[in-house]
Structure 1
């Protein structure tokens, strides 16, 4: 099994990932693969969210609009991460060509 390097995730990212599993009714492994993260990490987040949503003051989205908003926030976070990677790669290759 391929190990995924340890990364830090924002609370928004975690919430969006959990919502995709719970509200979006997508498979846990499918969501983890699409987010390029460990399915075990996502499983822990989903388990925590199902056990104590009231304790943290969170609630599951109740409308399709809220679910779509969560999905778009997750996609936005992913695109920002990709943009940062591309900027770093461009800077590296520009430096190498000098």
Structure 2
């Protein structure tokens, strides 16, 4: 029987401190990763997300509304596809 891999989760405070090692204390990504016992790719990922968030002109309220709207759009597209398939099915049945 296969077991699911358990991924370690990190708090936002830990991520902030890890990025501070790089940006404020002059550690290289490799040095910080070794010191914190995480992979360099994970640190690069956190760094990229932090930079995207810093460059974003959207505040937290707008961000949450955007996520809600994207979820709604996804739901509506799925419903539209279902209706298309249903109408095609019934059109075929009527012939």
TM-score (norm 1): 0.47
Q: Which has the higher contact order (CA 8 A, sep 6+)?
A: 1
More helix by share: 2
Max Rg structure: 2
TM-score (norm 2): 0.48
